[in-house]
Amino acid sequence: MGLDSRGMTPRKAGVSMTPKPTRESSSYSIVRVDTVNARGIPVHLWTTSIKRQGVDIVRHFYDGVYGDKTSARVMAEAYRDAVMRLFPPRTQLEQSRRRRSTNTSGTSGVQAIHKNGKLVAWLATLSIGREKVRRRYFSVKDHGEERARQLAIAAREELLREYPDSFATVHPHATASANAHFSHLVDARRIVRDTAAHAPAPSAQELRQRLEWLNAWFDALKPRHVHVRISTYALQQRGHDAILAIISNGGPPSQLKRKTWSLLNASWQDRQTEVWSFIQSSLKGLVGAAYAREFERLFKRDFLSSEAQSGFLVRHRLDDPASDYLRSSPPAELREMLQGFSVPRLLSLRTVSFEGG
């Protein structure tokens, strides 16, 4: 089971990284990625990746979406901090009681010992964090097979009672956050406790719902923008060039609009009417008719004066990242858990940029 930025699914990067990206170290659970995609276009982003309850929560924050490297990192850190308030890590008790696939006793931490194919003992073990592994050995010869097994199970419970419970975290930032927001999930006095008096951890369904609310909120915090790229490329096997149009509103790849036109019997200028019609229809579908008209007012003249060699590229930011309406409060369902949490204001940037043509 895996949680990603869209739901509880196996972890996926979501970015085609070719060749291998370069990385720079960052703060806890955040990694910088600078690479080139399969089309040779530079890709710059921060990736937040944090593991909770045995699953991975992953989301990408692109420089181009938030305006620059610094603003993208601010959003990546805000997402990480929100995740740590909403999703508790496992406790040492939970970790210690997880049964491995090779377990044959039915009890975590209790295993059968065989020599030359013969059962000779049952062994109880406990490993808590970086503590030395504790063991209790019960010989079948001394106790009999079933008695040795029962003694090992009892010894395992005794070993658990010797240690205080805590969160199974390694990084100090993760430990501090877990203790601050989920202290009710652990009992520092002893690792085995009265579960009836213990507040239960959220279920998988609860965690899935929290993630949906969180991602819907962060989707709403993204500055709206449109990328329009019109360029030529060589069809080597056919011996002529073609025009490639890619239109995006920053949404998932499934929403990207893409089309090609052959230049075998037509020039760039001959194809401009068809290409412009595709641009307009794509923008209407992605952003709406009103924006398509605004794009025409701003950029049609530049497109018509463009040439095949330089192509046409527009990055149009509809929202200033510093706008107040992009700093909305958490959804009502998460507000109590995120009390005191806010998304920092980003740097102000101009809303229109144009290249090419």
Identify the domain boundary among 132, 161, 190.
161
CA dihedral 36, 232, 247, 33 (to 10 degrees): 10
Query: Do 230 and 248 contact (CB within 8 A), yes or no?
Result: no
Q: Give the contacts of 265 (CB within 8 A, at least 6 positions apart).
A: none
pLDDT for 160 equals 77
Which pair of structure tokens corresponds to residue 86?
Answer: 């909403």
pLDDT, tens digit, for every residue of 77-120?
Answer: 999 999 999 988 887 777 666 666 666 666 778 888 899 889 98
pLDDT for 89 equals 86
pLDDT at 9 over 60: no
Q: Is position 34 within any domain?
A: no
pLDDT for 84 equals 92
Same-domain status, 232 and 157: no
Position with higher pLDDT, 6 vs 148: 148
Same-domain status, 156 and 241: no
Q: Is position 305 within any domain?
A: yes
Q: Is position 132 within any domain?
A: yes
Q: Is position 323 within any domain?
A: no
Tally of structural domains, the chain: 2
Taking CA 94 as the corner, what is the angle to CA 93 and CA 99, rounded to the nearest 5 degrees?
Answer: 115
The boundaries of the domain holding residue 106 are 95-161
pLDDT, tens digit, for every residue of 294-334?
Answer: 999 999 999 999 999 999 999 888 887 778 777 788 999 99
Same-domain status, 157 and 241: no
Which of 29-38, 198-207, 294-303, 306-315 bottoms out in mean pLDDT, i.e. has the lowest?
198-207
Distance, in Å, from the CA atom of 135 to the CA atom of 157, rounded to the nearest integer, reads: 12
Distance, in Å, from the CA atom of 50 to the CA atom of 11, rounded to the nearest integer, reads: 11
Q: Is position 296 within any domain?
A: yes
Identify the domain boundary among 105, 137, 161.
161
